[in-house]
Amino acid sequence: MKIKEIIITITLLFLVMGATYSANVDFLKAPSGFEDFIAGMSEKTENNNMYLTVDEMEFNKDAFQNGNGLIVEKLDGNIYKYVDTKGDFCGVQEKVKIDGVEYLVYIEEDFTTNGDFNSYLNILKEFNKLNNLEPLAV
């Protein structure tokens, strides 16, 4: 395997592990069109390639930095967009605080779709409104 593929694999492994071990956030309200949260993840019902995930920041300290197979840039306020360098997936992300714990909230979709960052941004803003959350500075 090439070094980049190894780094991307490790990054994805940490994201999956983080979702598995994250604190219980199943009480959060999911935006319209998404299923209820289970283990910090909600899947869009009509598009099984899009996920809304809430994961503890301690597992994602480098989420807002370029590298590790990701290209990250500020999109709107404290919300960032990202794409992986292989072109497999993209999304938007933010840092929020829930009950004193910092979380990474991200909407991710694979690139078999259109990669519509404005759509992701609107979904994330709807999620924030439903749950009275504000993106934090990183």
pLDDT per residue as tens digits for the range 34-90: 887 887 888 887 766 788 999 988 878 789 999 888 999 999 999 999 998 888 899
| Sheet-wide strand order for 101-110 | 41-43, 50-56, 101-110, 89-98, 79-84, 70-76
| Cβ count near 76 (within 10 Å) | 15
pLDDT of residue 19: 45
Closest CA to 119 of 86, 63, 67, 76: 76
Total-model pTM:
0.78
- Average pLDDT for the chain: 83
DSSP H helices, 2-134, are 3-21, 117-131
Q: Kindly calculate the radius of gyration of the chain based on its CA atoms and give it in whole angstroms.
A: 14
Residue 42's H or E segment, with its range, is strand 41-43
In single-letter form, the type of residue at position 58 comes to E
Q: Is the pLDDT of residue 120 over 70?
A: yes
Half-sphere exposure of 18 (CA within 13 A, CB side): 21
* Domains annotated on the chain, with CATH: 3-131 (3.40.1000)
pLDDT over 90 percentage in the chain: 45
